[in-house]
Amino acid sequence: MKQKFYQEIESVCPECFGKIKAILKEEDDHKVYIYKTCSKHGEFKDLISSDASYYKWTHYATEDGEFSFDKIGDANPPDRIADERGCPWNCGLCNLHKSTCSLALIDVTNRCNLTCNFCYANVEKSGVLVEPSLEEIRRVMKHFRSKPIPAVAIMFTGGEPTVRKDFPQICKMAKEEGFKEAIVATNGYGFQKPNGEGYKFAKACWDNGLDTLYFQFDGIHDETYMKTRGAKLWKYKQRVLENCRAAGFDSIVFVCTLAKSVTDMEAGNIIQYAIDNIDIVRGIIFQPVSLCGRISYEDLRELRITNADVLHEIEKQTNGALKVDRDWYPLTTIVEFGRLIAWYAGMEPIEFTCHPDCGFATYMVLDPQTKSLRSFLEYIDPLPMIEFANKFWKKVKERKESNFFTKLIGESAGATLDKGLNWFDRQSVKARFLLGVLPYIKKPGKLMELFSKVIMNGNWASISSFSYGSLLIGSMHFQDPFNFNLERAKRCIVHFGVPMPDGSVLETPFCVYNNFTRQETEKKIARKYTAKGKEEWVENVAGPEASTIIRNGGVDKDGKPVE
Helix, strand, or coil (residue 182): strand
CATH at 19: 2.20.25
Which range has the worst mean pLDDT, 68-72, 180-184, 266-270, 481-485? 68-72
Q: At what angle do helices 167-176 and 134-145 cross, to 10 degrees?
A: 30
Helix, strand, or coil (residue 476): strand
Closest by CA to 511, choosing from 362, 338, 357, is: 357
Whether 438 and 375 share a structural domain: no
Whether 321 and 448 share a structural domain: no
Q: Average of pLDDT values for 175-192?
A: 95
Whether 409 and 541 share a structural domain: no
Q: Is the pLDDT of residue 371 over 70?
A: no
Is 554 contained in some domain?
A: no
Q: Is the pLDDT of residue 121 over 70?
A: no
Q: Is the pLDDT of residue 123 over 90?
A: no
Is 419 contained in some domain?
A: yes
Q: Is the pLDDT of residue 229 over 90?
A: no
Whether 352 and 479 share a structural domain: yes
Q: Is the pLDDT of residue 507 over 60?
A: yes
Last residue of a domain, one of 58, 78, 95: 58
Which range has the worst mean pLDDT, 34-38, 156-160, 418-422, 469-473? 418-422
Q: What is the pLDDT of residues 13-22, one digit of tens each?
A: 999 999 999 9
Whether 322 and 394 share a structural domain: no
Contacts of 240 (CB under 8 A, 6+ apart): 188, 191, 192, 198, 213, 215, 252
Is 513 contained in some domain?
A: yes
pLDDT of residue 562: 41
User: 134 and 177 in contact (C-beta within 8 Å)?
Assistant: no
pLDDT of residue 420: 67
Contacts of 317 (CB under 8 A, 6+ apart): 265, 267, 268, 269, 271
> How far is the C-alpha of 51 from the C-alpha of 307, rounded, in Å?
9
Is 13 contained in some domain?
A: yes
Q: Average of pLDDT values for 401-406?
A: 68
Q: Average of pLDDT values for 360-367?
A: 81
Is 78 contained in some domain?
A: no
Contacts of 175 (CB under 8 A, 6+ apart): 182, 208, 209
Whether 524 and 482 share a structural domain: yes
Whether 345 and 413 share a structural domain: no
**What is the per-residue burial (b if ≥16 Cβ within 10 Å, else e) of 282-305?**
bbbbbbbbbbbeebeeeebeebbb
Q: What is the pLDDT of residues 313-343, one digit of tens each?
A: 999 998 888 899 888 988 887 777 677 777 7
Closest by CA to 166, choosing from 542, 559, 464, is: 542
Cis status of the peptide bond prior to 88, with omega within 30 of 0: yes
The whole domain housing 408 covers: 389-457
CATH at 517: 3.20.20.70
pLDDT of residue 332: 80
More confident residue, 85 or 276: 276
Q: What is the CA radius of gyration of the chain?
A: 24
Is 245 contained in some domain?
A: yes
Secondary structure element (H or E) that encloses residue 255, with its range: strand 252-258
Q: What is the pLDDT of residues 377-398, one digit of tens each?
A: 777 777 777 777 777 777 777 7
Q: Average of pLDDT values for 261-280?
A: 90
Q: What share of the chain has pLDDT > 90, as a percent?
A: 44
> How far is the C-alpha of 375 from the C-alpha of 311, rounded, in Å?
14
pLDDT of residue 538: 57
Closest by CA to 336, choosing from 348, 361, 355, 353, is: 353
Whether 313 and 442 share a structural domain: no
Q: What is the pLDDT of residues 40-60, one digit of tens each?
A: 999 999 999 999 999 998 887
Is 94 contained in some domain?
A: no
pTM for the complete prediction? 0.85
Secondary structure element (H or E) that encloses residue 406, with its range: helix 404-409
Domain count for the chain:
3
> How far is the C-alpha of 73 from the C-alpha of 77, rounded, in Å?
13
pLDDT of residue 171: 98
Whether 272 and 237 share a structural domain: yes
pLDDT of residue 300: 72
Q: Is the pLDDT of residue 550 over 90?
A: no
Other C-beta atoms within 10 Å of 382: how many? Answer: 16
Whether 163 and 253 share a structural domain: yes
Whether 366 and 404 share a structural domain: no
Whether 518 and 369 share a structural domain: yes
Q: What share of the chain has pLDDT > 70, as a percent?
A: 77
Is 73 contained in some domain?
A: no
**191 pLDDT tier (thresholds 50, 70, 90):** very high
pLDDT of residue 555: 35
Which range has the worst mean pLDDT, 2-11, 25-34, 420-429? 420-429
Q: Is the pLDDT of residue 469 over 70?
A: no
